[in-house]
Structures are given as structure tokens and as C-alpha cells.
């Protein structure tokens, strides 16, 4: 799959050159990037199904994400995450889908490999660590890996190079969700495809 503008793989290719339009878009990025909020808004705009992978994990495990981390450690959570993603991809069957992954998912080699094999479109929602830390501080979601700020920034620096392997990178600093959704839909020409399918 060729890279998109802003992605690390971009070599001059654009979304208009894609032979097969996206039918599954997976949002990746650090905690606080807005993956769930943007994903829900994008799914409403396109009329596509939305899924938050963390919700699927919690349903499969019968435990919350913080409980999984506490009881099984990060390794146990990552295994549950990989299994949930494999299940989601197996059940997708080509139906249009928007999915939000947890902050550490795309940084895991097995997760990235599953997504690459499935040939889905991945979108990295990027923001500065200052902005991400601020957002997480006002979020009601409990984040097991949001520790002191120095550790937060270290983890961000560790993961960001992996996020840059996504198909598309979209800057989110100081931007409204609707603006971010407009950019994703525009670059991937999702509105155009939906309109043609509805005729």
C-alpha cells in the first residue's frame, strides 16, 4: 500500500492514486489523540460501523482495561488486544468499518503486522506531547500507562516513530473534531465513494 501525504512512506503518491478505495479505516495514535471521538464522528458522517477495540477487549475478557493491566500485567493486556483485533479483522468481511485502537496497539509489531496483512488503511492522529498530556488530564477515562509527565513523554517519544508507519498522518493540535474528520474523508475520498455507492 502506498503512503499518504504526511506518512513516512509517502513517496509522492496521493489518495487519488489508490486503486481500491478504503473500506476499513483504523485510527492509531498516542493516548489523548482523540481516536474514539474522531472515529465516532467519522462513522456518523459516512454511515459506517464504528468499533473501539478497547470495548471489544473488555467484552471478551469480562474485565475493564485497568483491571486487565492490574490482574494480568501489560503482557496479558497485549495478548488480549492482539486476539481482539484478529477477531475483528476476521469478522469484518469487507463491510465498511471505522475502528479506534488503543494508544499502544500500533506500536506492537504483531498488531502492525495484522493490519498490514489485512491491507486496511491506518490513520495516525498526531499531536504534541504537551497537548496530549493536557487532554488526558481532563479525560474521565482511566489510563493505566498515564504516569508522571516525564514517563508520559518518554513513552510518546518511544511510540511516535512506529505511528509514522501509518498510511496517513493527520495533525490534530488545536483542531475541532469536524475539521479532522473533513480532512480524513477528503484525502481518502470517502465521501465521494459513499455518494457513488448510494446512487
Q: What's the pLDDT tens digit per position in 54-95?
A: 999 999 999 999 899 999 998 999 999 999 999 999 987 777
Q: Which residues contact 155 (CB under 8 A, 6 or more apart)?
A: 30, 145
pLDDT at residue number 73: 92
**pTM listed for this prediction:** 0.82
Q: What pLDDT is attached to residue 185?
A: 93
Residue range 147-174, pLDDT digits in tens: 678 888 999 999 999 999 999 999 999 8
| pLDDT beyond 90 at 142 | no
Q: Read out DSSP for 78-115?
A: HHHHHHHHHHHHHHHTT--EEEE--TTTTTSHHHHHHH
**Span 28-46, average pLDDT:** 94
Cα–Cα distance between 117 and 66 in angstroms, integer?
Answer: 29
Second-level CATH architecture of 22-198? 3-Layer(aba) Sandwich (3.40)
Cell numbers found for residue 157: 517519544
Q: What is the pLDDT of residue 20?
A: 47
Amino acid at each position: 500500500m502506498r503512503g499518504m501525504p504526511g506518512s513516512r512512506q509517502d513517496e509522492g503518491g496521493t489518495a487519488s492514486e489508490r486503486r481500491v478505495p478504503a473500506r476499513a479505516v483504523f485510527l492509531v495514535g498516542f493516548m489523548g489523540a482523540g481516536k474514539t471521538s474522531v472515529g465516532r464522528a467519522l462513522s456518523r458522517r459516512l454511515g459506517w460501523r464504528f468499533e473501539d477495540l478497547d470495548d471489544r477487549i473488555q467484552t471478551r475478557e469480562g474485565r475493564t482495561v485497568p483491571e486487565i493491566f492490574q490482574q494480568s500485567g501489560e503482557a496479558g493486556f497485549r495478548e488480549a488486544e492482539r486476539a481482539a483485533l484478529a477477531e475483528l479483522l476476521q469478522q469484518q468481511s469487507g463491510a465498511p468499518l471505522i475502528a479506534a485502537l488503543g494508544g499502544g496497539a500500533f506500536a506492537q509489531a504483531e498488531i502492525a503486522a495484522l493490519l498490514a496483512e489485512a491491507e486496511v488503511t491506518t490513520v495516525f492522529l498526531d499531536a504534541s506531547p504537551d497537548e496530549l498530556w493536557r487532554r488526558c488530564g481532563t479525560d474521565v477515562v482511566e489510563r493505566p500507562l498515564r504516569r508522571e509527565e516525564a514517563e508520559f513523554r518518554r513513552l510518546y517519544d518511544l511510540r511516535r516513530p512506529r505511528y509514522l508507519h501509518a498510511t496517513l498522518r493527520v495533525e490534530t493540535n488545536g483542531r475541532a473534531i469536524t475539521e479532522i474528520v473533513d480532512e480524513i474523508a477528503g484525502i481518502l475520498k470517502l465521501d465521494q465513494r459513499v455518494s457513488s455507492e448510494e446512487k
